Amino acid sequence: MKIFIASSSENLDLLREVEIWLEEFGHEAWPWDKPGLFPPGEQIFASLINISKQVDAAICLFGADDKILHRAKAVFQTRDNVLIEYGLFAGVLGTKRCIICTDGDVKDSADLLGLTKIDLSAPQRLRGRQHLKKWANGLRPPTVEAAEREEIVRIRRLEDSVKSLQDRLTFEEEKTLDLEKILQQFNVVNFDQISLATDGLWKLLYDYRYFQFAARMLAESCANPTALRSLLVNTDAEAVAEMISWRSVSGSLAADQNPQRNIFLARKALRIFRQYSERDSYKKFVGLAPTPLRTNLTEMATTLLKKKNGGETEFEEPPHVQ
């Protein structure tokens, strides 16, 4: 870590001692009198601003530099420029990265009352050195802290998004139940009675777990969208295939070889099956599908119906047939 050290000229002996400590702690000390910090021809305060952006931390040594009269009482305070430098570096680095070390009986500025400082006065110097070591070795690069702050913000945003999605999912589930009740009330369709021998497979397309499983199986059974379209055509579901836009990302009607589009197109096909007026069309599709796909879809439906009829909400997917 690069650590700047500010002090008055009168306190250079302590500055040298702190400089040696920092090097022993494994850090790079930047005392204010280090050659090259204040190039000739540059304004001193501008150089200080530049230094504050280059270092990782700063130590300001507050010594009993100047004797002043404060409320009719003679007291000692640190040199004005050291106080200004503390304000600058604390403003850039924060008060945890810019600390004050005192040497002697130094008057506290009103704005700094209550701020924890390290006492490096002669009687307390050894103890102060230990405090300084613990502080210096506890520092981490500002870039790491900034990255952690960004990660915390990102996690909070994700948590907010998850909460919003959970609320939306709850709403959709409640809406689905309400719609099912309305359909049953008017004798349109009864979702309480499901039979695989009749329209059970079609009704299961309204079950989230079955729909997601079926979409995944359908997508994985085809090498690419072109093969998926051929599967629909060859299983007497050409009407469904015609209702899907098979254009590739480039807008071409040429053979689409991008397998990453399979899952999107599979979901689209199942939604059309679900909305199709001929409810036997999905059952017919499953019956004509290649054996592995037909077996997986049928076994999943059977397993799910057993659990639903038994009042269970948790279940494991049946083994997949390759």
Q: How far apart are CA 190 and CA 255, in angstroms?
A: 41
Where a domain ends, among 144, 165, 199?
144
Q: Is 156 a domain residue?
A: no
Same domain, 134 and 222: no
Per-residue pLDDT, averaged over 255-259, amounts to 71
Q: Tell me the percentage of the chain whose pLDDT exceeds 90.
A: 40
Q: Is the pLDDT of residue 313 over 70?
A: no
Where a domain ends, among 103, 125, 144?
144
Q: Is the pLDDT of residue 118 over 70?
A: yes
> Which neighbouring-strand residues pair with 154?
none
Give the confidence band of 2 by pLDDT, cuts at 50, 70, 90: very high
Q: Is 288 a domain residue?
A: yes
Cα angle for residues 113, 114, 116 (degrees, 5° grid): 115
Per-residue pLDDT, averaged over 149-154, amounts to 80
Q: How far apart are CA 98 and CA 111, in angstroms?
A: 15
**Cα separation values, 202 from 162, 212, 264, 275, 279, Å:** 30, 14, 19, 9, 6
Per-residue pLDDT, averaged over 161-177, amounts to 81
Same domain, 137 and 184: no
What is the model's pLDDT at position 200?
66
Query: What does the pLDDT look like over 62-94, one tens digit per residue?
Result: 988 777 777 777 778 888 889 999 999 999 988
What is the model's pLDDT at position 150?
79
286, 218 contact by CB (below 8 A): no
Q: Is the pLDDT of residue 155 over 80?
A: yes
Q: Name residues whose C-beta falls within 8 Å of residue 287's C-beta, 6 or more positions apart in sequence.
A: 294
What is the model's pLDDT at position 256?
67
Query: What does the pLDDT look like over 10-29, one tens digit per residue?
Result: 889 999 999 999 999 999 99
What is the model's pLDDT at position 280?
84
Place of tokens 């704005």: 111
Q: Is the pLDDT of residue 216 over 80?
A: yes
Give the confidence band of 310 by pLDDT, cuts at 50, 70, 90: low
User: What is the domain range of residue 39?
Assistant: 2-144
Per-residue pLDDT, averaged over 112-117, amounts to 83
Same domain, 271 and 140: no
Q: Is 162 a domain residue?
A: no
Same domain, 25 and 129: yes
Same domain, 256 and 139: no
Torsion, CA 218, CA 304, CA 291, CA 224, rounded to 10: 10
Q: Is 155 a domain residue?
A: no
Same domain, 57 and 113: yes
User: Could you tell me how far CA 201 lies from the centroid of its own chain?
Assistant: 40
Per-residue pLDDT, averaged over 241-249, amounts to 80
Pick the range with the lowest mean pLDDT from 35-49, 51-65, 104-118, 217-231. 104-118
What is the model's pLDDT at position 294?
93
| CATH number of the domain to which 98 belongs | 3.40.50.10140
Q: Is the pLDDT of residue 318 over 60?
A: no
Same domain, 122 and 211: no
Same domain, 137 and 189: no
Give the confidence band of 316 by pLDDT, cuts at 50, 70, 90: low
Q: Report the candidate in 25, 14, 15 with the shortest Cα–Cα distance to residue 130.
A: 25
Same domain, 135 and 187: no
Q: Is 157 a domain residue?
A: no
What is the model's pLDDT at position 66?
73
Burial 214-243 (b: 16+ CB within 10 A, else e): bbbbbbbbbebbbebbebbeebebeebbee
Half-sphere CA count of 126, side-chain side, radius 13 A: 1
Place of tokens 């799910």: 304
Give the confidence band of 175 by pLDDT, cuts at 50, 70, 90: confident
If one counts the domains in the chain, the total is 2
Where a domain ends, among 121, 144, 167?
144
Identify the residue with better confidence: 264 or 151: 264
Question: Environment class of residue 129 by beta-carbon count within 10 Å: exposed (0-12), middle (13-18) or buried (19+)?
Answer: middle
What is the model's pLDDT at position 168?
80
What is the model's pLDDT at position 18?
94
Q: Is 161 a domain residue?
A: no
Per-residue pLDDT, averaged over 152-176, amounts to 83
Q: Is 285 a domain residue?
A: yes
Same domain, 88 and 213: no
Half-sphere CA count of 21, side-chain side, radius 13 A: 23
Helix axes 225-234, 262-275, angle to 10 degrees: 30
Same domain, 118 and 186: no
Q: Name residues whose C-beta falls within 8 Å of residue 221's C-beta, 6 or more positions apart in sequence.
A: 231, 289, 290, 292, 293
Same domain, 137 and 227: no
Q: How far apart are CA 85 and CA 95, in angstroms?
A: 13
Q: Containing H/E element for 180?
A: helix 142-185
Query: What does the pLDDT look like over 127-138, one tens digit per residue?
Result: 999 999 999 988
What is the model's pLDDT at position 205?
86
Q: Is 165 a domain residue?
A: no
Helix axes 291-309, 208-220, angle to 10 degrees: 170
Q: What is the mean pLDDT of the chain?
A: 84
Q: Is the pLDDT of residue 198 over 90?
A: no
Q: Containing H/E element for 98?
A: strand 98-103
